[in-house]
Amino acid sequence: MEDSSTVPTQEEVSEKDRDAFTVVIGSKTSVLEGEGTSDANVKDITVESFSVSVRGKELLKNATVKISHGKKYGLVGSNGTGKSTLLKLLAWRKIPVPKNIDVLYVEQEVVADEKTALQVVVSAKEELVKLREEAEALQNSDDDCGEKLVELYERLQVLGSDAAEAKASKILAGLGFTKEMQVRATESFSGGWRMRISLARALFVQPTLLLLDEPTNHLDLRAVLWLEEYLCLWKKTLVVVSHDRDFLNTVCTDIIQLHDQKLHLYRGNYDDFETGYEQRRKEMNKKFEIHEKQVKAAKRSGDRAQQEKVKDKAKLAVKKEASKRKAKGKAVDEDGPAPEAPKKDNGYSVEFHFPEPTELTPPLLQLLEVSFCYPDRPDFKLSDVDVGIDMGTRVAIVGPNGAGKSTLLNLLAGDLVPTEGEVGRSQKLRIGRYSQHFVDLLTMDETPVEYLLRLHPNPRQEGSATTPEEAVRAKLGKFGLPSDNHKTSITNLSGGQKARVVFASISMSKPHILLLDEPTNHLDMESIDALAGALDEFSGGVVLVSHDSRLISRVCEDEEKSQIWVVEDGTVSFFDGTFEEYKEELQIQIREEVDE
């Protein structure tokens, strides 16, 4: 189901690739670049019977999309089906959007320069900035410009000029920027923080159509919860691609599924979509089974007329279904190809697995009165850290970005040496590590099979595997990497596919403890569920840093074995309660901030 050959990876689909996309629209396009409508206030987008291809490969075929004003849509589908591309085509207006609808697609981090974060956010309202400059120039002019100034000030008032900085500051604060950070130059921030500034600009501008692609990837848990709360109050139209189930459940009013080159609309949030999709899948498969039985029976009879009758019956059933859809006011592709026989929908499943580790005598891993500071960062220090991990321990590390969560993981892994204190480690301890850093360290000119065989030359052969290569390929397949990618250079894999190679390697190292730093960033929903299931079954220790509250809830389900470590203000403290209670406390604080 996850097929990287279907569409280029997100990194490849840049603005210069616009011409590579062909969008063919049927005769029933309701609005094309604002033409064909005298209503300048139209805010819905409806495009019927359109197809999209990239470099000759079909991405969408006779699809229909309706985006109603004020609705919040989650765009879902397996990795590689083209969700990010669909957002880009809307932003580029290659999929027709009425001219009066302003569209903002949050894609790139802001430019790193001397402007402060606050200035960059406010400057997103170009008209506001321009009118302020005009007013200032007139004030400094010797000419009599009183009347013109009054006009400018009236327009500035309409644009909310007096409250602009306060509003921008509130949005930045919600996304994790302290007052001190807001007045820092953007060039002093990392790419992840500049991406947050880009998101803040979009929220500040409030476009009629806001397009967000994985907005939670660069956020910590608190910022994700703030964004959920903020978007719940969003009055305009939103289309968001996200792998965060809780985020989609909280924010979305509707789900658009990109599946089998079509767009399917489901009312409700992600949980409602799952129920609806499973019901639809069962109905489709039942029709397929009945059709298959009829075809086989007709073939056995050897009666060609009977075989043709079965085919005609299937086509008639599809036509009837189309008539029903039309009667209910749903889109029907009248100019498309002739109706086909029922198809089977096998769904999409992936399985993660970490082998049972050998028993080790506790304690497995301890930090005893540890302190740490970086030589070139006098403003950062972790002090008096006393933590331990054993078999079965489940830890969620929470706290704001930059507080030291990843530093704590690196101290546990032994990648950093404490400035003070000591590290206690079982002699035979094996640690499995996942972070974006480890994905970036993959040997890009090797294939996944070559990479794993180099690291694990004698893999355990399970099932029908008879050679090391077959064993490695079976492992990659279990972690959801399609077989045609097993011998593709790693450099050509998508972010999600590279992540699967790292997880397969971790599994083959047979770890006692897993240290996972934002493991969900490049995984689709099914893979995150598979990871959660594998962690449930794993009897070793798990330490998790994640902004995905559903994954944390799954990992920390057993209250007796779970701990919440809060990294903040240079210390590591233990939250006295469950993760759900911690999350609830954050949400109460956030609601008070948003409602102010």
From CA 78, how far away is CA 257, in angstroms rounded? 9
158 CB-near residues (< 8 Å, 6+ apart): none
> The tokens 């969003």 sit on which residue?
234
From CA 594, how far away is CA 27, in angstroms rounded? 45
Q: What is the mean pLDDT of each run of 10 residues along the chain (596 residues)?
A: 42 59 64 46 85 82 91 88 88 89 88 91 84 74 70 75 88 92 92 92 94 91 94 95 94 93 93 88 76 70 65 63 53 44 63 91 93 89 94 94 91 94 94 87 93 89 74 90 91 87 94 95 88 94 95 92 94 94 92 75
For the chain, helix, strand, coil in percent to 5 are 40, 20, 40
Phi and psi torsions of 374, nearest 5°: -85, 140
Classify each residue of 185-201 as buried b or exposed e, where b means 16 or more C-beta atoms within 10 Å of its C-beta: ebeebeeebbbbbbbbb
Q: Indicate the burial class of 457 (C-beta count within 10 angstroms; 0-12, 13-18, 19 or more).
A: exposed
Q: Are strands 513-517 and 541-545 parallel, antiparallel or unpaired?
A: parallel
pLDDT at 9: 44
Identify which of 435, 541, 571 has the alpha carbon closest to the alpha carbon of residue 498.
435
Sign of CA dihedral 286, 287, 288, 292: positive
Concatenating the DSSP letter of every residue in 359-393 gives P-PSP-EEEEEEEE--TT-TT--EEEEEEEE-TT-
Q: Is 338 helix (H, G, I), strand (E, B) or coil?
A: coil
Contact 161, 135 (CB under 8 A): no
Strand partners, 542: 394, 514
Identify which of 166, 176, 179 has the alpha carbon closest to the alpha carbon of residue 199.
176
Phi and psi torsions of 215, nearest 5°: -65, -20
Phi and psi torsions of 315, nearest 5°: -65, -40
pLDDT at 171: 94
**What letter represents residue 269's amino acid?**
N
Phi and psi torsions of 86, nearest 5°: -60, -40
Contact 44, 79 (CB under 8 A): no
- Cis ω on the peptide bond leading into residue 363 (within 30° of 0)? yes
Total Cβ atoms within 10 A of residue 114: 9
Any idea what DSSP says for residue 208? S
Contact 408, 572 (CB under 8 A): yes
The CATH number of the domain covering residues in 365-595: 3.40.50.300
Identify which of 20, 101, 94, 84 has the alpha carbon closest to the alpha carbon of residue 57.
20
Q: Are strands 209-213 and 21-25 parallel, antiparallel or unpaired?
A: unpaired
Identify which of 215, 187, 14, 208 has the alpha carbon closest to the alpha carbon of residue 106.
215
Q: Indicate the burial class of 451 (C-beta count within 10 angstroms; 0-12, 13-18, 19 or more).
A: buried
Phi and psi torsions of 454, nearest 5°: -70, -40
List the domain boundaries for the chain.
365-595
23 CB-near residues (< 8 Å, 6+ apart): 50, 51, 52, 89, 94, 95
Concatenating the DSSP letter of every residue in 80-143 gives TSSHHHHHHHHHTTSS---TTS-EEEE-SPPP-SSSBHHHHHHTTSHHHHHHHHHHHHHHT-SS
Contact 418, 407 (CB under 8 A): no
From CA 168, how far away is CA 170, in angstroms rounded? 5
From CA 355, how far away is CA 509, in angstroms rounded? 9
Identify which of 73, 93, 78 has the alpha carbon closest to the alpha carbon of residue 237.
73
Angle at 205 between CA 77 and CA 158, to 5 degrees: 145
From CA 198, how far away is CA 184, in angstroms rounded? 15
Q: Are strands 571-574 and 562-568 parallel, antiparallel or unpaired?
A: antiparallel
